[in-house]
Each structure stands twice: as C-alpha cells, then as structure tokens.
C-alpha cells in the first residue's frame, strides 16, 4: 500500500503544561523533499515523531532518529538489515530481495568497508550514515529524517542529499527532513516548512531573508552566485 | 560484497555438544562411583544392563541435580541476555529489576513462617509459592512506578528496579534478624544450591523453561528492532511498551522459578551474555540461543565443582560461579582490549 499525502491536522503535543506543538496543520504532498526549519526547541522533532507514529501502521514510512543510540551491539550490516525486519515471519533471515535492498542501501551510503564493524565503534557521522542506510533499506515511499547530516563531513552530506534527490526523481519517493544547514536545504529541498515556538510560521517554495530573519531572530544576507544559485549568510 | 562468514551454526553446535558432555560428566561426579559408560547406557535406554542401585543413583540423585543446574543456568543467562538487550545496558542482569530479591523475600517469609513444609503438589512446596508471589508483587510494583508516566521508559524502570531490590533485601535482613533460629536455613538457601533437587522439582522447572524460553526466542528479534528507538521500531511494526511488557513478564516468570528452586545465583546472568558477545554472536535471537546453552554448560560445571571441591560437604554455588566466571571474564576482557588495541579499533 502506498501512502498518499501525509496530513497533519491540528496536531497538538503537550508535555505536562508545556505546549510543544500547537495545532500544527499541513499536508505534505508526495514526490517532494520537504524541509523543516526552525530554531532549537521549536517542536521539529516532536512534529516528525508524531507524524511517524500516526502513519506507522501503514508500514510505508521509515524514520531516522536524531539521537544516535549507544549499545546497539550489532554489526553495521545487521543494523542496516533491521530495516527488513518483518514481524509476521518467524524466521528472520533475509530473503534474496531483502539482501539486495540491504546491499544497495549500504553501497548508497558508502558503508561497504564498515559492514563488519560493530555499530558502537563507529564515529558519529558513520553512525548517522548507517541509520540513514537502515531507513533506506526499509524501501518505503515516505522517509522522515531528523537531522541526518548534523555530524556528516561535506562529502557525505552532499552524498546523502543527492541520494535523496535521486530517489525522489527515479523512484518517486518522498522525504521529510529536519535540517539546520539552510544552504543545504535551499539547494536540495522542494518545500520549506518554517516553525517557531511550536507553531507553523509559513510554508514556502523558496526562502528569502525576511522570513529567515523572522524565524531565527537573526539577520541574514542573500548572496547570488554567478551560476544563479542563492546562498544565505547569517550576519 | 565481501563479508565475514557467519559461523553461528558451528558455534551453536559446539555449545550444545559441550553442554551435553558437561551434563554426562557431571552425572558421574558424587559420593558414590558411577562411570561415564553407565551414564551413557542410562541415557540411551539400556537401563536393564545396569544394577538397580546405579539406576536409582543416576535417576533419583544425579539427573535431577544436573538437569536442574543446566535449566537454571540456561534460564538465568537467557534472562540476562534479554535484559541487557532491552535496557541497552551492559550492566543489566536478572537481579537488577528486584525480581530475584522479591522472590527471595517471598520464599524467606515462607521458610520463616514454616510454610515451606506445606506441600501443595509433589515438588511444589510453600517456598515455591512464596517466591512466585514475591516475584509477582515486585514485578507489579516496578511496572506501576515505571509506567506512571503512561509509557515504559527503560532508565526509570531500571532505577525503580534497583530501589525496590534494595527494599526487598532489607526486608530479608530484617526477617533473618528477627528469626535467628531459621537464619541459617534462609541464608544457605539464598546463597544458592542444587543439592535439594528432586525429580518433581526438575519437572516443574523443565515445563516453565520449556514454555518461557521458546517464547523469548520467538520475540527476541524485536529486541534488536527496539534499539533503533521507539518511532523507528514502530515504523517496523514493533510496539515498544508491548514488547517490553511481554518480554519482562516472561523473564520474571523464569526468574521466579529459578530463585524458588535454588536461591539467588548471581553473576551468571550478567556474565554469560558478555562471554557470548566475545565470541562474536550479536543478533538477539542467536545470542539468546547461545546464552541458554553456554549458561547451562557453565552452571553444570560450577555445580560439579561445588559438589566435589569440599566433598562430602557442599560449597555454595554462588561463590563458585563468581570464582570461575569472573577471572575468565576478566581474561577475555583483557585479551579483547589488547586485540582491539593492536587493530587500532576502539571498543
């Protein structure tokens, strides 16, 4: 079953008296890379977690958590292969199809050389790539990534984002991605969801200095490169 | 893609053979002489060729004791393996949720109040019931506290367990101080021994282990999935609260019966999963299977030492498990660190 658009209708999440997410409504259209931007503690992670929880039963959404866990104690290959876990099967061995998907995810994230290493011995960026590969191995039409590139080097950041673009163009996959790097977002995302204080500020197809300055409460300058691409520079 | 070959089947077969060998060898050890040949004849059904005395010794004394040790060892190691996986904490072990202390308290109350003489069924004495009630009460306390926020949270479950464990231990101490006359009995039982094993007790334990361990094996791959975090696990169809609840319930039942049978035997549940991990078995289901057999093997060996080292007396099994297990574990730890250092890997 393929999920259509993801609908968030007035999602409110409170922790005790604190309102973390205040009646958030938006429809995430399929076939796009949606990028969620906003300052720390504005409810981005809460939003994506509740979206995943809402649509998890369909089995067509995968999730890359922000936190990289300790004590996983599995090899990289086995960690990625968890994406192929199917609880309806008693024997949890991989079918040839599963194996192909796991191998593909591993090579997409350039993890071949690490596939026998134990997850806990990896560096932060390697762990993030492994978690992204795990979600890709799930082969779902929606993938939600919570800051998948916060510890990545420039090359692997580009590699991860290009892979998402490639999957969108060639396999019609959809992504929701939480990012802090505005220029990565501008370069790769189709739609920008800006949040502040648990509320949706606006949804834009392209960013401008005014809205960024408002959301992040910090002035921005736009620089247009000779090729026509725009970059945002915090002042 | 080049990957290291998975030698899991070979490792498992070796563990099973080692366990069978240890069981057979341990049947030979004791105050009267039984040869390995006689034991093999007994198990292969050629009882007619043996003298009735030997059949009685093997059937009534040796077999119950050795199998009880094997079942307890396997169960404790499995519970330890499951707990360490669920809590993602290498220091978790069966005693950490307070369930061992809880069932020990229940059994101690039964012993002190003389209820252990009451026999409900063959092999099913009052102290058994006490231990099971104690485990159930502790389990409920831990979970009411841990679930009070509406969701299981592994670290608060662990903390609640540790706190409840110390309350239960304190009650045992109070009980022993107030009843000096039965103190020795309670104390010896708490240290752990397999010397009072009977056929009926062994059968009860075998049924419990035979139900709970396969169920744990069935559910164990979910423990790996939970390591990805609650939401990612949910997207794979694994509900964190439900999995934690079911798994810990099974583990508690196993633990209650082990404690009721042979007291608190520490260290096995903590150490065996780590020893298995040193042999590069990591996946939850494979690890659980290996832990069961390695735990059984280890406990049979320890029990053999316990019954021979100060013969005709008995050494407390808890002391032996630590005296044999800890140095071996430290050796493995040192070796693996040296190897990792040579390879330039961090641990």
**Triad B261, B57, B20: Cα angle to 5°:** 65
* Residue of A49, A87, A117 with shortest CB distance to B238: A87
Sign of the four-CA dihedral B273, B274, B276, B282: positive
Asked if residue A165 belongs to a domain, the reply is: yes
| CB-based contact, B222 to chain A, within 8 Å | yes
Strand partners, A142: A61, A174
Q: If contacts are CB pairs under 8 Å, which of residues 30-49 in chain A contact chain B? A: 49
| CB-based contact, B235 to chain A, within 8 Å | yes
Closest-CA residue to B269 (of B20, B23, B75, B16): B75
Residues in chain A predicted with pLDDT less than 70, given as ranges, are 1, 68-69
Q: How far is A166 from chain B (nearest CA, A)?
A: 23
Q: Which residue of A has its CA nearest to B217?
A: A90
Asked if residue A218 belongs to a domain, the reply is: no
Helices (H), chain B: 8-28, 36-43, 52-56, 63-86, 99-112, 126-146, 154-178, 183-191, 199-219, 221-226, 230-235, 240-262, 268-278, 284-308, 317-343
Domain with residue A201: its CATH number is: 3.40.50.300
Look at residue B21 in the predicted model and tell me its pLDDT: 93
Distance between CA atoms of A13 and A43, rounded to whole angstroms?
9
Residues in chain B predicted with pLDDT less than 50, given as ranges, are 1-2
Q: Strand A220-224 vs strand A142-146: parallel, antiparallel, or unpaired?
A: unpaired
Convert A106-121 to b/e letters by CB count within 10 Å (16 or more is b): bebbbbeebbebbbee
String of DSSP letters for B143-160: HHHHTTTSS--HHHHHHH
CB B247 within 8 A of CB B215: no
Q: How far is B225 from chain A (nearest CA, A)?
A: 6
Convert A139-163 to b/e letters by CB count within 10 Å (16 or more is b): bbbbbbbbbbbbbbeeebbebbbeb
ipTM of the complex: 0.88
Asked if residue A126 belongs to a domain, the reply is: yes
Asked if residue A52 belongs to a domain, the reply is: yes
CATH number of B8-343: 1.10.3470.10
Q: Which two tokens stand for residue B45?
A: 């059904």
* Residue of B3, B229, B282 with shortest CB distance to A73: B282
Asked if residue A169 belongs to a domain, the reply is: yes
pLDDT tens digits for B309-344?
Answer: 887 788 888 888 888 888 888 888 888 888 877 776
Asked if residue A149 belongs to a domain, the reply is: yes
B224 contacts in A (CB within 8 Å)? 74, 78, 82, 85
| CB-based contact, B113 to chain A, within 8 Å | no
Distance between CA atoms of B192 and B25, rounded to whole angstroms?
22
Q: How far is A227 from chain B (nearest CA, A)?
A: 40
Give, as one character, the DSSP assignment of residue A232: E
pLDDT tens digits for B283-318?
Answer: 999 999 999 999 999 999 999 998 888 877 888 888
Q: Which of B143-149's residues contact partners 24+ apart within 8 Å by CB, and which partners? A: B143/B245, B143/B248
Any residues with CB less than 8 A from the CB of B123 and at least 6 apart, and which? B198, B199, B200, B201, B202, B203, B204
Picking from A48, A70, A82 by the largest number of B CB atoms within 10 A of its own CB, the best residue to mutate is A82
Picking from A58, A61, A85, A119 by the largest number of B CB atoms within 10 A of its own CB, the best residue to mutate is A85
Give, as one character, the DSSP assignment of residue B196: T
* Residue of B221, B277, B346 with shortest CB distance to A92: B221
Asked if residue A231 belongs to a domain, the reply is: no
Q: Which helix (H) or strand (E) holds A233?
A: strand A230-234
Residue given tokens 């999440």 in the structure block: A13
Q: How far is A4 from chain B (nearest CA, A)?
A: 16
First-last CA distance in chain A: 47
Look at residue B104 in the predicted model and tell me its pLDDT: 86
Q: Which two tokens stand for residue A1?
A: 């079953």
Q: Which two tokens stand for residue B44?
A: 């292969």
Q: How many other β-carbons are positioned within 10 Å of the β-carbon of residue B216?
A: 24
Q: How far is CA A7 from CA A17, A48, B137, B185, in A?
A: 26, 12, 44, 66
Look at residue B290 in the predicted model and tell me its pLDDT: 96
Closest-CA residue to B34 (of B16, B64, B56, B67): B56
State the count of interchain CB pairs (< 8 A) between A and B.
Answer: 89
| CB-based contact, A140 to chain B, within 8 Å | yes
Distance between CA atoms of B248 and B142, rounded to whole angstroms?
11
Full residue range of the structural domain in which residue A20 is found? 6-207
Picking from A64, A67, A92 by the largest number of B CB atoms within 10 A of its own CB, the best residue to mutate is A92
CB B319 within 8 A of CB B264: no
> Residue B5: is it exposed, middle or buried by C-beta count within 10 angstroms (0-12/13-18/19+)?
exposed
How many distinct structural domains can be found in chain A?
A: 1
Q: Which two tokens stand for residue A17?
A: 């008296």
In chain B, where the domains are located: 8-343
CB contact under 8 A, A64 and B232: yes
Distance between CA atoms of B321 and A46, rounded to whole angstroms?
47
Give, as one character, the DSSP assignment of residue A139: -
* Residue of B225, B227, B238 with shortest CB distance to A69: B227
Look at residue B1 in the predicted model and tell me its pLDDT: 47
């Amino acid at each position: 079953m393929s999920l259509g658009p993801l609908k968030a209708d007035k999602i409110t999440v409170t922790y005790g008296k604190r309102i973390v997410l205040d009646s958030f409504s938006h429809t995430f259209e399929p076939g796009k890379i949606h990028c969620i931007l906003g300052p720390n503690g504005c409810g981005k992670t809460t939003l994506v977690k509740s979206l995943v929880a809402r649509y998890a039963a369909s089995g067509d959404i995968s999730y890359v958590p922000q936190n990289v866990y300790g004590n996983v104690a599995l090899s990289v290959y086995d960690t990625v292969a968890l994406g192929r876990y199917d609880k309806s099967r008693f024997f949890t061995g991989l079918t040839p199809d599963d194996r192909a998907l796991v191998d593909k995810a591993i090579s997409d994230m350039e993890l071949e050389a690490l596939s026998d290493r134990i997850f806990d011995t990896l560096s932060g960026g390697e762990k993030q790539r492994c978690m992204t590969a795990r979600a890709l191995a799930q082969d779902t039409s929606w993938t939600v990534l919570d800051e998948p590139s916060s510890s990545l080097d420039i090359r692997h950041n580009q590699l991860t984002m290009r892979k998402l673009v490639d999957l969108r163009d060639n396999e019609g996959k959809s992504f929701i991605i939480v990012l802090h790097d505005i220029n990565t977002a501008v370069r790769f995302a189709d739609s920008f969801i800006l949040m502040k204080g648990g509320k949706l500020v606006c949804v834009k197809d392209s960013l401008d200095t005014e809205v960024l300055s408002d959301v992040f409460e910090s002035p921005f300058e736009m620089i247009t490169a000779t090729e026509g691409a725009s970059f945002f520079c915090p002042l | 893609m080049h990957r290291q070959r998975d030698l899991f089947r070979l490792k498992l077969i070796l563990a099973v053979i080692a366990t069978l060998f240890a069981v057979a060898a341990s049947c030979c050890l004791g105050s009267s002489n039984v040869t390995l040949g006689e034991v093999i004849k007994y198990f292969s059904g050629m009882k007619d060729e043996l003298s009735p005395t030997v059949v009685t010794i093997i059937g009534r004394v040796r077999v119950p004791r050795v199998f009880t040790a094997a079942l307890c060892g396997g169960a404790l190691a499995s519970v330890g393996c499951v707990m360490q996986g669920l809590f993602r904490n290498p220091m978790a072990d069966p005693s950490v949720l307070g369930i061992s202390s809880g069932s020990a308290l229940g059994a101690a109350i039964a012993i002190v109040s003389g209820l252990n003489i009451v026999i409900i069924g063959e092999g099913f004495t009052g102290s058994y019931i006490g231990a099971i009630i104690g485990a159930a009460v502790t389990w409920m306390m831990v979970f009411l506290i841990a679930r009070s926020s509406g969701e299981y949270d592994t670290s608060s479950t662990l903390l609640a367990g540790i706190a409840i464990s110390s309350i239960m231990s304190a009650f045992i101490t109070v009980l022993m101080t107030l009843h000096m006359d039965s103190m020795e009995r309670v104390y010896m039982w708490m240290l752990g021994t397999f010397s009072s094993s009977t056929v009926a007790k062994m059968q009860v334990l075998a049924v419990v282990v035979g139900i709970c361990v396969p169920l744990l094996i069935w559910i164990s791959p979910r423990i790996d999935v939970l390591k990805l975090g609650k939401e990612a696990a949910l997207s794979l169809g694994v509900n964190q609260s439900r999995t934690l609840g079911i798994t810990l319930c099974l583990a508690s039942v196993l633990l209650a019966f082990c404690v009721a049978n042979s007291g608190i035997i520490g260290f096995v549940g903590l150490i065996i999963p780590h020893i298995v991990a040193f042999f590069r078995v990591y996946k939850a289901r494979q690890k659980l299977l290996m832990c069961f057999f390695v735990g059984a093997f280890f406990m049979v060996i320890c029990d053999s030492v316990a019954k021979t080292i100060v013969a005709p007396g008995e050494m407390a099994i808890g002391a032996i498990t630590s005296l044999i297990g800890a140095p071996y574990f430290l050796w493995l730890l040192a070796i693996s660190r040296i190897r990792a250092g040579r390879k330039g890997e961090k641990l």
